[in-house]
Amino acid sequence: MNKIDIVLGLQWGDEGKGKVVDVLTPRYPVVARFQGGPNAGHSLVFGGEHFVLHTVPSGIFREGTANLIGNGVVIDPVILMEEIRQIEAKGIDVAERLLIAKRAHLILPTHRILDAASEHAMGSSMIGSTLKGIGPAYADKTGRNGLRVGDILLPDFKERYEALKARHLKLLAGYSGFTFDINDYEQQWLEAIGELRRFTLTDSEIYVNRTLDEGTPILAEGAQGSLLDIDFGSYPYVTSSNTLAAGACTGLGVAPSRVGSVYGIFKAYCTRVGSGPFPTELFDEDGERLRQIGHEFGATTGRPRRTGWLDLPALKYSVMMNGVTELIMMKSDVLDGFDTIKVAVAYKAGDQTCGWGGFGMEDVTPVYREFPGWKTPLNGIREFDALPAAFRDYVRFIEQETACRIRILSVGPDREAIILREA
């Protein structure tokens, strides 16, 4: 029996999951997304080209890999079809490589409008949602009203769609002063539903367990980040799914005993898009430098990402919550030019020192430890021992604090800019 390994983000998303999955895929015949939806934007860079995937797993560009969109994902067929067309334009037979869970829920055009109406009504306390309809779609799932991918095969699908849309329109009538027009998007959506029928729609939990029984390993790809988890993130400034490793079990239908490695990805600093607490956030020149050098603008929405120093208390919390077995550190090259690099090692709340409590992190001040910068480009380096000593010290400090080995270091956006270390 083989295991399912999990790749997930340990911060607030955009850690570089797309790149890591692309790099690891040659070891895995099957890659499976387990939660989230097109709020995700996973970037892959190879052969001088840059791709952003929203719903399709990041193994799609590797020949011989099956890519599964799991039951825990919410799918907007319009966005999925646009994505598929872009991949097909590169000569890839997506229908041959892609499987879609019949149990995955659909995002309706009215889910997107409800998302926007809710954000509009919240005013300055808005979540900063990507407006892709994620919250309303998961609300219908747990409220037991949702439509699933498998439903598109039913003869009365259109009636079911109309009934749910009518429910949504009633809800929307309660948002006074919010205007909308669904006609264009609805037309595209219905067409995309028709196109979806040409893909393999499957009972993915059976497929996943049978694949493991046959001795084939699977890589599960997370979306968003651990600190955006619906249960353990900084609620209500979170997404609407379980982004933690546990989400891979429910999002794919695998038992916890089948989980092997948990690869936890983090950036050498922090970013966050949208609202909510961010203790190490920088509002100064250093923050702007991180944003410009790291190209910290959303892959899905284009919004500037908030930036800050690495937050170890938050990282340790995520390592604990996910049972991370191996760490992967991204974007260290962004720090190349800094004279001094800071890392939060604890927080102060009043005159008390504390760690990441999770519940209410609004009023803490970080306690920093400073490291000398390495002032050398890391991008061309491929061996750990060839890295500057100051950088290796920084890496070892993080390993000590988290009690977890950093197995992979990424030093540039390209597939090739990677350093692999032995256990």
70 in contact with ligand IMO (CB under 6 A): no
Q: What is the DSSP string of 54-68?
A: SSS-TTTTSTT-EEE
Q: Cβ distance 67 to 98 under 8 Å?
A: yes
**Window 379-418: contact mask with ligand GDP (x via CB under 6 A):** -------------------------------xxxx-----
Looking at beta carbons only, is 59 or 109 nearer to Mg ion? 59
Q: Can you read off the two tokens belonging to residue 236?
A: 């209500």
Site for Mg ion in 97-156 (CB under 5 A): none
224 in contact with ligand IMO (CB under 6 A): yes
Q: Can you read off the two tokens belonging to residue 283?
A: 């509002």
Looking at beta carbons only, is 6 or 330 nearer to Mg ion? 330
- Contact residues for 26 (Cβ-Cβ < 8 A; gap 6+): 62
Beta-bridge partners for 67 = 31, 98
- Kindly list the distances between the CA atom of residue 270 and the CA atoms of 204, 206, 304, in Å, as whole numbers in the listed order: 34, 38, 13
Looking at beta carbons only, is 8 or 152 nearer to ligand GDP? 8
Least distance (Å) between residue 43 CB and ligand IMO: 8
Residue 314 Ramachandran class (φ > 0 left, ψ -120 to 50 alpha, else beta): alpha
Give CA–CA dist 156/278, Å, rounded: 47
Looking at beta carbons only, is 59 or 225 nearer to ligand IMO? 225
> What's the CA dihedral at 121, 55, 275, 314 to 10 degrees?
150
Q: Cβ distance 305 to 271 under 8 Å?
A: yes
15 in contact with ligand GDP (CB under 6 A): yes
Give CA–CA dist 69/33, Å, rounded: 5
228 in contact with ligand IMO (CB under 6 A): yes
CA atoms within 13 A of residue 210's CA, in its CB half-sphere: 6
Least distance (Å) between residue 17 CB and ligand GDP: 4
**237 membership: H or E segment, kind and range:** none
Q: Where are the alpha helices (DSSP H) in 174-238?
A: 183-196, 204-213
Count the residues of the shown chain that bind ligand IMO, applying the rule CB under 6 A: 24
Residue 330 binding target from ligand GDP, Mg ion, ligand IMO, none, CB below 5 to 8 Å by type: ligand GDP
Least distance (Å) between residue 297 CB and Mg ion: 11
305 in contact with ligand GDP (CB under 6 A): no
Judged by CB under 6 A, which stretch of 69-77, 125-133, 287-295, 350-358 contacts ligand IMO? 125-133
Q: Which of 299, 324, 330, 364 binds Mg ion (CB under 5 A)?
A: 299
Q: Which of 14, 115, 221, 229 binds Mg ion (CB under 5 A)?
A: 14
Place of tokens 């490589």: 97
- Residue 295 falls in the annotated catalytic set: no
19 in contact with ligand GDP (CB under 6 A): yes
Least distance (Å) between residue 252 CB and ligand GDP: 19
- Residue 42 falls in the annotated catalytic set: yes
Site for ligand GDP in 320-359 (CB under 6 A): 330-331, 333-334
**Residue 294 DSSP label:** T
226 in contact with ligand IMO (CB under 6 A): no
Q: Which of 5, 22, 42, 76 is catalytic?
A: 42
Residue type, 126: M
247 in contact with ligand IMO (CB under 6 A): no
Count the residues of the shown chain that bind Mg ion, applying the rule CB under 5 A: 3
Give CA–CA dist 59/218, Å, rounded: 11
Q: Can you read off the two tokens belonging to residue 405?
A: 């080995």
Distance from the first to the final alpha carbon of the chain: 23
Indicate the length of the chain as a whole number.
Answer: 423
Residues that bind ligand GDP (CB under 6 A): 9, 13-19, 41-43, 45, 295, 299, 330-331, 333-334, 410-413
Residues that bind ligand IMO (CB under 6 A): 9, 12-14, 39-42, 127-130, 132, 134-135, 223-225, 228, 239-240, 273-274, 299
Active site positions, annotated: 14, 42
